[in-house]
Chains A and B, each alone.
Chain A
């Protein structure tokens, strides 16, 4: 009885301690950053009021719709293409590097390291490095998204292979199947649904990231938003945001439906 009381009071103190710690970190952060909490909170309703008056697309901004739509479609296609190419590269690398299908520990460690390296280089850095060599073109945006996605997908695919395919691989190995038989008859069919689910997630993500890459490299929907924003045509910028919302939500709903069927 006393034991449980002691446990509960300890738990109570620990929880209070954690909450106090998080609060202290928050205060220290806002002090160093000179972030004014009051101004921040009051800015939110102001921002929405401002959005309501200035960002509302007017009848005038309908004339921008065709331009916005072509750029947005271009961006979506670019995001899909870069994700698919990244997925094709990533599946080969993941097969080489996973603990289940990999060759030896040297290759496995190297793959993990490379994947993590690619993943952690900021997207901004990729965009700038590529912009310098490939100039302002869609190809630059494509490469930036590709290099970023490869890192994420390699790690995700390796985890999927290790989680889902290790038992089937073992079973097929016991029957004396060759390496390629195992890959094509067991591993790939087994992981395909989760693989597609990840690719769909990455496409959604890349459409959103493409806006950032577009602002930096002057391509696609990001470029056109930046153009309207910097020339104070806020109604057209608002129209662009609405179009982005529409497309991202359609993609999300579509991929959720696909996931429901295949998983």
Chain B
């Protein structure tokens, strides 16, 4: 008879499940940093607000006058001393300024972005372009326009060049980031077939990044329009911004300021609408 020599029965005792602590918050470094940043920002803000120089303005009076101004602007806008067609043509100039500088920015920015992308060129060239563009980007648009207005006189040329400089730097960064996101294997597959550099750029990179390039370009168009208005006001470079400056800071005609503000808002809504439509068309493809 076959029997088990060892008759003792092993019985496995059910163990109590080891109570592991449920991790509620992972990645503690990130939490420490968040706390640190929030604390820092709060301290700076409280300090600044306590030391804010308000030039002894009576706040009650100031808010009362602000309310009156706002009523003039938003409830009773009119064209003031200028004609509507004149304001409209000034608005058109600002818009054209935004479009032309965006085109310049997009074309130059695209080629610089190709040279600045780490997955396409050597490290030193890309680092060099990156550093240079960071410096260009750090200088506010208005200062670029003021610098160019000394060299080539106040006017369209200074405005176009000044606005373009910042656009090129901004779009180079944005484009090169979207180029770096594309799959490395696509580039390698083309390299293996012996494709030249520009073939890779126009057959692989251009089509795959198209949607994001377009959406960045339109974001920049909106920014450029806002900048074109600002530059007209602060540097006297013409367009609707200059009219805004004259109405608001020289003749104090806030009814006209209101009209101009509404016109600018209408154009920005239009630009946003076009951007949304175009994005939808390209994303659908």
CA distance A74 to B143 in the complex (A): 19
Shortest beta-carbon distance from A101 to chain B in Å: 21
Determine how close the nearest CB of chain B comes to the CB of A79; give it in whole angstroms: 9
The answer to whether B66 and A128 have CB atoms under 8 Å apart is: no
How far, in whole Å, are A125 and B99 apart by their CA atoms in the complex? Answer: 22
B97 → chain A, closest Cβ, in Å? 7
Q: Are B41 and A84 in contact (CB under 8 A)?
A: yes
Stretch of B15-23, B113-121, B132-140, B174-182 that contacts chain A: B132-140
Residues of A within 8 A of B143 (CB): 211, 225, 241, 244
Closest B residue to A78 by CB, please name it: B48
Mark each residue of chain A from 111 to 135: 1 if its CB lies under 8 Å from any CB of chain B, else 0. 0000011001111110011111111
Residues of A within 8 A of B254 (CB): 129, 132
Q: How far is the CB of B174 from chain A (nearest CB, A)?
A: 13
A212 interfacial by beta-carbon distance below 8 Å? yes
Q: Is A62 engaged at the interface, CB distance under 8 Å to the other chain? A: no
Q: Which residue of A lies closest to B38 (CB)?
A: A196
The interface size bin for chain B is 35 or more
Q: Does A57 sit at the interface, judged by CB under 8 A?
A: no
Interface pair A40/B161, CB less than 8 Å apart: yes
Query: Is the beta-carbon distance between A44 and B161 smaller than 8 angstroms?
Result: yes
Interface residues of B in 99-121 (CB under 8 A from A): 99-100, 103-104
Expressed in whole angstroms, the Cα–Cα distance for A55 and B139 within the complex equals 14
Q: In the complex where A25-B99, A35-B160, A50-B151 touch, is A122 in contact with B241 (Cβ < 8 A)?
A: yes
Known A128-B257, A192-B34; contact A244-B139, beta-carbon cutoff 8 A: yes
Q: A81-B49, A216-B234, A262-B30 are in contact. Are A125 and B139 (CB under 8 A)?
A: no
Interface size on A, residues (CB 8 A): 70
In the assembled complex, the Cα of A125 lies from the Cα of B261 at a distance in Å of 7
In the assembled complex, A164 has its CB within 8 A of some CB on chain B: no
Asked whether any CB of chain B lies closer than 8 Å to the CB of A150, the reply is no
Taking a contact as CB atoms under 8 Å apart, the answer to whether B54 and A139 are in contact is yes
Assembled-state Cα–Cα distance A225/B142 (Å): 11
Inter-subunit contact A248/B138 (CB<8 Å): yes
Contacts of A46 in B (CB 8 A): 151-152
Question: What residues on B are CB-neighbors of A142 within 8 Å?
Answer: 52
Residue interface mask B142-168, A partner, CB < 8 A = 1: 110011101110001100110000000
CB-contact partner of B230 in A122, A131, A262, under 8 A: A122
Q: Is A183 an interface residue (CB 8 A)?
A: no
Q: Determine if A132 and B244 form an interchain contact, defined as CB atoms under 8 angstroms apart.
A: no
A10 within 8 A of B: no
Q: How many angstroms between the C-alpha atoms of A32 and B141 in the bound complex? A: 23
- Cross-chain contact A132 with B252 (CB below 8 angstroms): yes
Task: Tell me which residues across on chain B come within 8 A of A50, comparing CB atoms.
Answer: 150-151
Interface residues of A in 171-230 (CB under 8 A from B): 192-193, 196, 199-200, 208-209, 211-212, 215-216, 222, 225, 229
A35 touches B103 (CB 8 A): no
Once the chains bind, are A196 and B34 in contact (CB under 8 Å)? Answer: yes
Q: Say yes or no: A80-B48 contact (C-beta < 8 A), given A34-B156, A241-B143.
A: yes
Cβ of A20 under 8 Å from chain B = no
Contact B161 A33 (CB under 8 A): no
Given A135-B55, A139-B55, A262-B33, A215 contacting B151 (CB threshold 8 A): no
Task: Establish whether residues B257 and A125, one from each chain, have CB atoms under 8 Å apart when the complex forms.
Answer: yes
In the bound assembly, the distance between CA atoms of A72 and B193 in angstroms comes to: 55
Q: Is the CB of B57 within 8 A of A137?
A: yes
B37 touches A196 (CB 8 A): yes
Q: Which of B63, B69, B265 contacts A117 (CB 8 A)?
A: B265
Interface string of B237-265 (1 = CB under 8 A from A): 00001001100110010100100110011
- On whether the beta carbons of A129 and B148 are closer than 8 Å, the reply is no
> CA of A199 to CA of B139 in the docked complex: distance in angstroms?
20
For A43, the closest partner residue in chain B by CB is B152
Q: Are B49 and A262 in contact (CB under 8 A)?
A: no
Contact (Cβ within 8 A) B230 A212: yes
Q: Is the CB of B142 within 8 A of A120?
A: no
- Residues of B close to A35: CB separation below 8 A: 100, 156-157, 160
Indicate if B93 sits at the interface (CB-CB under 8 A): yes
15 contacts between A and B (CB under 8 A): A29-B100, A32-B93, A32-B96, A40-B152, A46-B151, A50-B150, A120-B268, A138-B52, A142-B52, A208-B140, A212-B230, A216-B234, A222-B142, A244-B139, A249-B138
Q: A25-B103, A55-B147, A132-B254 provided; 14 other pairs, C-beta below 8 A?
A: A26-B104, A40-B152, A81-B44, A121-B261, A124-B234, A134-B62, A137-B55, A196-B38, A199-B41, A209-B140, A211-B142, A222-B142, A252-B134, A262-B30
Chain B contacts to A: CB under 8 angstroms = 29-30, 33-34, 37-38, 41-42, 44-45, 47-49, 52-55, 57, 62-63, 65-66, 69-70, 73, 92-93, 96-97, 99-100, 103-104, 134-135, 137-143, 146-148, 150-152, 156-157, 160-161, 226, 229-230, 233-234, 241, 244-245, 248-249, 252, 254, 257, 260-261, 264-265, 268-269, 272
